[in-house]
Every structure is written in structure tokens, then in C-alpha cells.
Amino acid sequence: MQLTRVRVTRDSVAMGDDTNAPHLMFLELLGDPTIEIAVRNVLECPYLATIQGGEATWLVVADGTVHAVVAQQWEAPRWITGRDVRAPAEIHFRYLRQEDPEAVLAQQLVDAVSPEDVTVTISRPHVRGLLITCRLGEREKDVHGELLVTGDHEWSIIKSTLVDHWTRPPADPMSNTEARVLVTAVVQRLKDEGIRVRWD
């Protein structure tokens, strides 16, 4: 069976770590592996540097696209693109220091949405919260995000954001561009208030 060779690099996490930059490693994987298999092999090595405090955050980047967020405190990566795409020839792990991985993931999911190929549904379910569902173009799976809100303060922030950015009557459908602006505004407003954003 043929081997697939994947070139792996990562950012340095400290000045002393720079001596081995770009931390080149090659994976040799059997058959026609997916990017998920390649990333899993990297994480099992272990290859990524760990930091004191145990909360390093990384982006999985290939061909200029962010595919996943990896956090030292998470058991597994959280995917932005399809995890079943073919493993690329090169994968780079971009170090984001100790940024909140949940907030990073939320922003990356928003950034991955282009106005031309997304349908966004925004609703308030019977429990207090804001549900955002995105279908990304021709990809097989939807990306579901839920902003979990438990207090009046958080919900008031969301409502004020809706008022600021959703000027048309609720019965009128939003354009894709308007929806993207709204989602971005909600996530950023909560982040500015120090409220954690969780995406499932």
C-alpha cells in the first residue's frame, strides 16, 4: 500500500524554542488519509509544544485555510472545515499563545462564512439563548453554533446588538451579508463584555 507524505511545521512558543524553527516533521501515512487522520497523528506524537499553565491554543492551517482549532486543554480538535477532506501536502500549526480557544473557534467559524454561500438562521429558543445555524455552501454538514446565555445582562447585550444591526421587520428575511454582519457583531459584543462564547 502506498504512503502519503505530509510536511508538518509549527510556530515557536518561546525564544528558546526558536532554535529548531520551523520544527519540521514529516508524516508517512498509509493509503489516502484525511486531514483529521494527519492531525490526530501529529497530536499523538506529541509534536506541539506545551506551555506552563496548560492552555496553549493553535490553528491548523493548510493551503491558506484554517481547518481546526487545537487547545492544550481540549481532548480533541474542533473543526471548522470538513475533517474528511484529503490530507494536504503541508500542514502548519499557528500558535495563538493563551487566547481563549472557544472565542477563537467562534471567530474562525464566522470568518469561514462567505456571504455568497451561507444561509444563516437566527432564533431565540424557549430557553434563554441565541441559536445560530449556518449552512456553508456545498459542504455536506452544517456548522451549528450556540451562544449559551444564562443571565439578563448577556441577553440584554444580544438584544441591543439585534436592534443595532437588524433594522428590517423580523418577518423579512435578512440578506446573507446582513446576517454575517449580525453574527459577527453578536460574537464580538459578547467577547468585548468578557462573556465566553461556546460553539458545539
Average pLDDT across each block of 10 residues of the chain; the chain has 200 residues. List them in order: 88 66 83 93 84 84 93 90 88 91 80 51 43 42 40 57 50 56 67 56
| CB-CB contact of 82 with 140 (8 Å) | yes
How do residues 18-28 score in pLDDT, each as one tens digit? 566 678 888 88
pLDDT of residue 88: 92
Distance CA 125, CA 113 (A): 23
Minimal CA–CA distance to 72: which of 45, 44, 101? Answer: 101
Domain boundaries, the chain: 3-98, 107-192
Q: Look at strands 129-136 and 118-123 and give their pairing.
A: antiparallel
How do residues 9-68 score in pLDDT, each as one tens digit? 988 876 556 566 678 888 889 988 999 999 999 998 887 777 777 788 999 999 989 999
pLDDT of residue 154: 55
Taken as a whole, the chain contains a residue count of 200
pLDDT of residue 178: 61
Strand partners, 57: 71
pLDDT of residue 183: 65
User: Which CATH code for domain 3-98?
Assistant: 3.10.20
Minimal CA–CA distance to 91: which of 8, 175, 196, 177? Answer: 8
Distance CA 194, CA 189 (A): 9
pLDDT of residue 102: 85
Q: Which amino acid is at 134?
A: C
Distance CA 11, CA 17 (A): 9
pLDDT of residue 153: 60
pLDDT of residue 134: 44
Reported pTM:
0.59
pLDDT of residue 164: 54
pLDDT of residue 143: 35
Is residue 72 packed enough to be buried (19+ CB in 10 Å), middle (13-18) or exposed (0-12)?
middle
